[in-house]
Structure formats: C-alpha cells, structure tokens
C-alpha cells in the first residue's frame, strides 16, 4: 500500500527486532509466552491493529492469508479520498487515507482470540488475590 496517508512507508529496526524476539519466545513456548499490556492497543492508525495481530496472532493471520499488510488492509480497511487543507494552509488537495474499517465482526472475532479487555473490577479482583 503506497500513498495512503497515515501509514508508515518504511520499516522500523526496533519494531523488527521486537518481532524477532517475540517470535523466538513463541517458538520456545508452543506459540504462547508473550503478553502485551496496554491501555491503548489501537490509538493512531489501523496499521496498529495489524501490528498487534502480527505479534500476537501470526499463525491465525497466515491461516487466513492475511499475514501481509496489503492483504489484511484490503480485507479490513477501506481507503477514502477526500479534500483536505494543504499543510501550508494555502489551498486544498486530494488525500487518501484509511478512514473506515470493513468486515468489523470478522476482524473483532479474530482479534478477541488474542486480546482481552480488563476493567476496574478485574484490577480490584487481582488486588484481592495478591
């Protein structure tokens, strides 16, 4: 996917290093052994959801032939082209970005296999068990 605003166009060495380490831990633990804990798993772009799935659900993505971002994005995202104010504020330009998820029930069913939402009651319960 090229020329889509908001999507990184280059690979991050830190992200790749982490990916290799996560895959190593998973290979030593039958696909498990990795826990991500965050309050904002998807905060800025839909690419973050793919990244979370890439780390935590590589086999599931491969099973559905979604292990490359382009195929994942074509299945779950819709690029939308709209007029936006140019960066210098002098006029408008057409800009394409992922603005909408599609096939959301299928995506959430897959995502929830690896992700769990915790709330205050979970934290209070954990505190009483410590």
66, 75 contact by CB (below 8 A): yes
Is 5 domain-assigned?
no
Per-residue pLDDT of the chain (130 residues; tens, 9 = 90+): 556 665 666 678 998 899 999 999 999 999 889 988 887 777 777 788 888 999 999 999 999 999 998 899 899 988 888 898 988 989 998 888 887 889 999 999 999 998 887 777 877 767 787 6
Q: At a CB cut-off of 8 Å and minimum separation 6, what does 11 contact?
A: none
The answer to whether position 3 is within a domain reads no
Instruction: Assess if residue 72 is contained within a domain.
Output: yes
β-pair partners for 91: none
Residue-number span of the structural domain to which 58 is assigned: 13-30+41-129
Query: Which residues lie below 8 Å from residue 39, measured CB to CB, with a gap of 6+?
Result: none
Query: Looking at the 3D structure of the chain, how many domains does it have?
Result: 1
According to the model, what pLDDT value does residue 59 have? Answer: 93
First-to-last CA distance in the chain?
47
The per-residue pLDDT for 121 is 82
**What is the pLDDT at residue 118?**
77
């Amino acid at each position: 996917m090229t020329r889509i605003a908001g999507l990184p166009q280059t690979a991050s060495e830190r992200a790749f290093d982490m990916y290799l380490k996560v895959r190593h831990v998973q290979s030593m633990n039958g696909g498990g052994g990795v826990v991500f804990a965050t309050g904002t798993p998807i905060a800025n772009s839909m690419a973050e959801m793919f990244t979370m799935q890439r780390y935590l659900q590589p086999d599931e993505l491969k099973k559905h032939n979604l292990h490359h971002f382009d195929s994942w994005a074509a299945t779950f995202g819709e690029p939308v082209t709209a007029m936006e104010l140019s960066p210098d504020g002098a006029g408008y330009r057409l800009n394409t970005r992922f603005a909408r998820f599609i096939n959301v029930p299928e995506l959430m069913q897959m995502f929830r296999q690896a992700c769990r939402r915790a709330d205050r009651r979970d934290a209070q319960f954990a505190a009483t068990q410590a």
